[in-house]
C-alpha cells in the first residue's frame, strides 16, 4: 500500500488541510493490466457511515494485497472532504456545503465531455479499446488543465483527477434517514445489478443527467455523452461504472453494518475481476428492487409547519394515495395526513420531527418518470 498526501489549500487559502489517499495493487493507468477502482467516502464530510466502511475495506485490501490477490489498482479515500470536516456551525458538523461559496461539495464537477468533443475530433477509430484509452488520456489532460479558483474547487479537481480514468467508481454517501439506495447512470443498470443485490438496496435510481454535475456523473456521463455526440460512428462503450451508494441514514454507524457493507463491496469487486476472493460470485442474494428512473422519485413536501409522525417504515412498497405521515400543528392541533401520489418504494425521509412549510419529508421511488430539471435538488 502507498499513501499519498494531496495539499488542498492554495497560497492564500483560508483553510490549511490535505487529503489522504491509499493505493493498493499495481497502477492500472500505466499498464491497464487490470482494472482501476476508485472508492471515496464522506464527500459530504459529516456523512459518517462510509468512513467506517472504509476502515473495514482498508484492512481487507491490505490482506489481499499481501497475498497478491489484487489485479489492478484500488484507490481508497476514506475521508474525501477535509474542508468540510473542519466546518461547524454552533458546534454542529456542517459538511454538505462549502461555507465560503455556499456550493454543495457534490456539485459543480468539471464535465470534460464538452472539451473532449473538440479534442477527440478526427482521432477516434473502430477499435473500442483504443478509443477507451485515448478518451481516458484526454479526460486526464482536461482535469489537469482545470484551474481552480477556490479551495473547494482544488479539492474537487484532486478527487476527480484520481477517478476520471477509473473503470469502477464507488462514491459512498448516506441520507438523512433512509433505506440503502443507489444512484447510477441509465446505461449502467445491468452492470450495477450485482452490487445492488449484494448491498440489499431498496431503490436503484437511474438517470442520464441528474443536473448540477455531481461527482459520480462527472466520471461516467462523459462516455455516453461522447457516444451520442459522435452518433455511433466509433465504438465508445460506457467504460466507467460509477455509482453513488447511500449507506442508509446518518446515525446508522455500527461495526455490524460496516462489515456487511464492506463485504458486499469487496465481493462486487471480485465479481468484476479486481480482487481474488474465493466464492465471491456464488449464491448472490435476490435483488430487493428493480431499477427505476430518478425522474420517477416523488418528493413529499410539508404543506405547513408541524410535528411529523411517520406512519410507514422506510423500504415499504406503497400504493398511490397511501399515507406516509401525519403533520400536526402544535398550537391548533390540526392534523394533515401526507400521502404519496405515485406507487413505489418509500426509501428516504427526514430525521427532523418538527418541520417547516416546504420541507422535503420523504421520497418515494416510482417506476414512471414524471419530473425534469435538476433532479437531485428536488
pLDDT, position 29: 45
Closest-CA residue to 250 (of 149, 197, 325, 178): 178
pLDDT, position 27: 72
pLDDT, position 28: 46
- The gap from C-alpha 115 to its chain's centroid, in whole angstroms, comes to 24
Query: Which of 100-104, 353-357, 370-374 bottoms out in mean pLDDT, i.e. has the lowest?
Result: 370-374
Share of the chain above pLDDT 90, in %: 91
DSSP 232-286: TSS------EEEEEEEEETT---HHHHHHHHHHHHHHHHHTTSB--TTTTSSPPP
pLDDT, position 32: 58
- Per-residue pLDDT averaged across 97-123, rounded? 96
**Topology (CATH level 3) of domain 2-289:** Aminopeptidase (3.40.630)
pLDDT digits (tens, 9 = 90+) for 243-260: 999 999 999 999 999 999
Look at the chain and count its residues.
378
Which pLDDT band holds residue 26 (cuts at 50, 70, 90)?
confident
Q: What DSSP designation does 358 have? A: T
Buried b (16+ CB within 10 A) or exposed e, 44-75: bbbbbbbbbbbbbbbebbeebbeeebbbbbbb
- Per-residue pLDDT averaged across 115-131, rounded? 97
pLDDT digits (tens, 9 = 90+) for 261-316: 999 999 999 999 999 999 999 999 999 999 999 999 999 999 999 999 999 999 99
**Topology (CATH level 3) of domain 293-366:** OB fold (Dihydrolipoamide Acetyltransferase, E2P) (2.40.50)
Q: Count other Cβ atoms within 10 Å, centred on residue 360.
A: 15
Q: Which helix H or strand E contains 365, and what residues bound it?
A: strand 360-366
Backbone dihedral angles phi then psi of residue 196, each to the nearest 5 degrees: -60, -45
pLDDT digits (tens, 9 = 90+) for 40-60: 999 999 999 999 999 999 999
Q: What DSSP designation does 7 have? A: E
pLDDT, position 375: 82
Cα separation, 372 vs 184, in Å, equals 17
pLDDT at 345 over 50: yes
Q: Look at residue 310 and give its three-state secondary structure.
A: strand
pLDDT, position 14: 52
pLDDT, position 313: 97
Beta bridge partners of 23: 2, 75
Which sequence spans correspond to the domains of the chain?
2-289, 293-366
Q: Look at residue 80 and give its three-state secondary structure.
A: coil
Instruction: Give Cα separations from 245 to 27, 39, 95, 150, 199 (angstroms).
Output: 25, 11, 17, 27, 9
Amino acid at each position: 500500500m502507498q499513501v499519498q498526501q494531496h495539499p488542498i489549500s492554495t497560497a492564500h487559502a483560508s483553510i490549511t488541510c490535505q487529503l489522504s489517499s491509499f493505493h493498493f495493487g499495481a497502477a492500472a493507468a500505466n499498464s491497464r493490466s487490470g482494472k482501476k477502482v476508485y472508492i471515496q467516502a464522506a464527500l459530504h464530510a459529516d456523512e459518517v457511515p462510509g468512513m467506517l466502511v472504509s476502515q473495514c475495506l482498508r484492512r481487507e485490501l491490505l490482506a489481499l494485497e499481501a497475498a497478491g490477490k489484487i489485479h489492478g489498482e484500488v484507490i481508497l479515500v476514506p475521508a474525501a472532504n477535509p474542508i468540510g470536516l473542519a466546518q461547524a456551525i454552533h458546534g454542529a458538523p456542517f459538511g454538505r456545503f462549502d461555507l465560503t461559496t455556499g456550493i454543495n461539495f457534490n456539485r459543480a464537477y468539471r464535465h470534460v465531455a464538452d472539451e473532449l468533443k473538440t479534442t477527440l475530433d478526427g482521432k477516434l477509430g473502430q477499435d473500442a479499446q483504443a478509443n477507451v484509452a485515448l478518451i481516458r488520456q484526454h479526460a486526464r489532460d482536461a482535469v489537469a488543465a482545470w484551474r481552480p479558483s477556490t479551495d473547494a474547487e482544488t479539492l474537487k479537481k484532486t478527487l476527480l483527477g484520481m477517478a476520471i480514468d477509473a473503470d469502477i467508481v464507488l462514491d459512498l454517501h448516506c441520507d438523512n434517514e433512509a433505506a440503502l439506495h443507489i444512484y447510477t447512470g441509465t446505461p449502467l443498470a445491468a452492470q450495477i445489478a450485482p452490487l445492488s443485490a449484494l448491498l440489499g438496496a431498496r431503490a436503484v435510481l437511474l438517470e442520464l443527467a441528474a443536473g448540477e454535475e455531481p461527482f459520480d456523473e462527472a466520471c461516467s456521463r462523459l462516455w455516453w455523452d461522447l457516444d451520442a455526440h459522435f452518433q455511433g460512428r466509433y465504438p465508445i462503450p460506457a467504460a466507467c461504472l460509477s455509482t453513488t451508494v447511500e449507506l442508509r441514514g446518518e446515525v446508522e454507524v455500527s461495526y455490524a453494518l460496516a462489515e456487511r457493507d464492506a463485504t458486499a463491496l469487496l465481493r462486487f469487486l471480485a465479481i468484476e475481476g479486481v480482487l481474488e476472493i474465493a466464492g465471491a460470485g456464488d449464491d448472490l442474494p435476490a435483488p430487493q428492487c428493480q431499477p427505476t428512473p430518478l425522474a420517477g422519485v416523488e418528493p413529499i413536501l410539508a404543506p405547513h409547519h408541524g410535528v411529523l409522525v411517520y406512519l410507514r417504515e422506510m423500504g415499504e412498497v406503497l400504493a398511490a394515495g397511501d399515507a406516509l405521515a401525519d403533520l400536526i400543528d402544535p398550537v391548533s392541533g390540526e392534523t394533515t395526513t401526507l400521502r404519496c401520489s405515485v406507487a413505489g418504494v418509500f426509501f428516504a425521509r427526514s430525521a427532523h420531527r418538527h418541520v417547516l412549510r416546504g420541507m422535503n419529508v420523504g421520497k418515494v421511488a416510482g417506476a414512471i418518470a414524471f419530473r425534469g430539471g435538476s433532479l437531485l435538488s428536488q
